[in-house]
Amino acid sequence: MNIRATVWMRRAIIGVAAVSSPLFSRFAAAKEPAKAFERPKLAVVVVFDQFRSDYLTRWRDLYGTDGLRRLMHDGAWFQNCHYPYATTVTAAGHASIHTGCSPNTHGIVGNSWYDRGMKRSITSVYSPLHRRVPARGSRASAAPIRLLAPTLADALKTATGGKARVVSLSFKDRSAVLPGGKKPDACYWFDASTGEFVTSTYYQADPHPWVREFNASRAVDRWFGKTWDRLRGDVKYERFSGPDNVANEWTGYGQGRTFPHPMGKPARKPGRQYYDAMMNSPFGNELLLELVKRAVVAEKLGSRDVPDLLCVSFSSNDLVGHAWGPDSQEVMDTTLRTDLIVRDLLAFLDKQVGKGRYVLAMTADHGVCPMPEISRMKGKDARRYDLRRIRRDVEKQLRAAIPSKKPLVEAVSGVDVYLNQRELKSRGVESRRAERLLAGFLKKQPGILTAYTRTQLMGRIPETDKLGRQVQRSFFPARSGDVTVVVKPYCLLGWRDTGTTHGSPHEYDTHVPLLFFGAGIPAGIHKQAVTPLAVATVLARRLGIKPPAKANAGIPAGLFPAEKRPAGR
């Protein structure tokens, strides 16, 4: 065992003792009075899209000491962090992390939902009023117009009279737009049709010079024609994950099921397929990290008299996870490379902003369901169910109960089913009756664990119905369906027969890492139940500002044990 590992073990033991024994914490507090810490110059929120809590421990022995393990050793590590709501998807996750509240408050119920007025599905950041920047065609672009709660970024802007600088970057539009709040100074995401980072006219008319230069450098094309192979030639991946070739893995964008994965071939020059493949490989994260470094330098983040905020969301983990599944060698390899991303980011911030002068939170927007084929090998009743067939079947049953020539199911979006309210009205059928019938039929469908009606979700759900409470926290009346279904554990509802997904209230989707690190964060391991919504409140506390107005997550008990609250508050 090396010295570092011994120190780590001792820290872990102290960490556990400090939270489990009041005697010990009193002793520790007496011996080490609360140290004054410098107000951080910069807060950083790092999200890895689709990163399950067990990834931290599953491959820990393969991580270096300066990346994820540095956060685990020197930071506050919350090992029992779960999303409190049911629809565990990217947009809901990012909105919740940054506002400190659930979708029933901030309104971002999914990546997209059915808009009854427009009679179609819209994304969480879709804005018909804004265009892509730099300009290209007349397609609508993205803006935070559907986010109904302020983010940490908004709270910081308010507290500093607009002086704090906010930068939000990701590959996905929703993962940059939602964290950035109403008035970020820079908000960029990736356009896979051109390989450029873009923003929208909601933010500004022209890209920042540092983004223009980055796009012009074509750093994005660096991996074209190369292959993605395993990072560690000295490690037998199969021992730590599973076999490389598993039935029902997806083949990506001409990438195949097994290593090495070609990048962009057989095209002669970089184009759509290559940019998609790049995002669907760990290289997407590497590219984003380069842009992040440029942003910190160009915007001089962490160098002035008020603190700044940097929001980064790395998307490639999610795409790789969807394609090959959490037990694949591809996800293992992407996670080992994620460790290097964290190492490089921390080393860069140490140099650029200064050790102990920034505070950082690391979490994920959701976990992921194992591939049903893998779960079945472990004896679980895991299957893929065709959502289109289920829709056809319940429509038939519903029309047998309520005679109608027109469809009674108007739309299905994710786990939400929307009834044709107009038709019900013209037939004189009460909506709540149709809801009840529909939920009853849905509950009997294969692959569906249970279903909740709008009427139920608008009312009181007993505390004993944990699942119902989770579904209720994902429910927003003007956007959610009339019936919401919950998929059976380890099963997938969809129409694809490859890869896997997330979005359920089950443990594998809700359990994510939560780590705080840096200025004013005592090292320790915490076992109590917390949610990622704590990111907004904890960082606000460290920045010395009020939390975002609708945040309802408290400061986790035991995080700041030595801090005395001023009397009378």
The mark string for 72-91 relative to Zn ion (x by CB under 5 A, - otherwise) is: --------------------
CB of 90 to Zn ion, least distance (A): 6
The H or E element that residue 258 is part of is: none
User: What is the token pair recorded at 126?
Assistant: 């879709």
CB of 31 to Zn ion, least distance (A): 46
Rounded CA gap, 432 and 428, in Å? 12
CA dihedral 106, 107, 110, 113 (to 10 degrees): -160
CB of 50 to Zn ion, least distance (A): 5
Rounded CA gap, 444 and 450, in Å? 8
CB of 55 to Zn ion, least distance (A): 15
* Site residues (CB under 5 A) for Zn ion, limited to 302-321: 318
* Site residues (CB under 5 A) for Zn ion, limited to 367-396: none
| Nearest partner of 532 among 157, 45, 104, 139, judged by Cα | 45
* Site residues (CB under 5 A) for Zn ion, limited to 544-563: none
CB of 49 to Zn ion, least distance (A): 7
DSSP SS3 for 41: coil
Residue 135 DSSP label: -
* Site residues (CB under 5 A) for Zn ion, limited to 314-353: 318
Matching residue, tokens 């896997």: 500
CB of 137 to Zn ion, least distance (A): 27
- Does 410 sit near Zn ion (CB under 5 A)? no
Rounded CA gap, 182 and 149, in Å? 10
CB of 318 to Zn ion, least distance (A): 4
Rounded CA gap, 103 and 63, in Å? 34
CB of 89 to Zn ion, least distance (A): 7
CB nearer Zn ion, residue 367 or residue 520: 367
CA 461 vs. chain centroid, Å, equals 27
Residue 267 DSSP label: -
CB nearer Zn ion, residue 178 or residue 353: 178
Phi-psi region of 239 (alpha: psi -120 to 50; beta: other; left: phi over 0): alpha
Rounded CA gap, 395 and 397, in Å? 5
Q: How far is CA 85 from CA 5, 313, 471, 515, 545, in A?
A: 37, 21, 6, 20, 27
Which residue's Cβ lies closest to Zn ion? 318
CB nearer Zn ion, residue 249 or residue 318: 318
CB nearer Zn ion, residue 171 or residue 385: 171
Q: How many residues bind Zn ion (CB under 5 A)?
A: 1
- Does 196 sit near Zn ion (CB under 5 A)? no
Rounded CA gap, 186 and 169, in Å? 8
CB nearer Zn ion, residue 363 or residue 420: 363
Rounded CA gap, 376 and 485, in Å? 23
CB of 180 to Zn ion, least distance (A): 20
CB of 179 to Zn ion, least distance (A): 16
CB of 47 to Zn ion, least distance (A): 12
The mark string for 243-282 relative to Zn ion (x by CB under 5 A, - otherwise) is: ----------------------------------------
CB nearer Zn ion, residue 171 or residue 203: 171
CA 189, 332, 372, 97 torsion-angle sign: negative
- Residue 116: count other Cβ atoms within 10 Å of its Cβ: 14
User: What is the token pair recorded at 339?
Assistant: 């460790």
CB nearer Zn ion, residue 50 or residue 470: 50
- Does 173 sit near Zn ion (CB under 5 A)? no
CB nearer Zn ion, residue 50 or residue 531: 50
CB nearer Zn ion, residue 191 or residue 318: 318
CB nearer Zn ion, residue 312 or residue 437: 312
Single-letter amino acid code for the residue at 153: A
CB nearer Zn ion, residue 92 or residue 360: 92
Q: How far is CA 148 from CA 58, 366, 415, 470, in A?
A: 37, 21, 22, 20
CB nearer Zn ion, residue 499 or residue 547: 499
CB of 316 to Zn ion, least distance (A): 11
Burial of 321 (0-12, 13-18, 19+ CB in 10 A): buried
Rounded CA gap, 548 and 154, in Å? 7
Size (the chain), residues = 569
Note the residues at the interface with Zn ion (CB under 5 A). 318
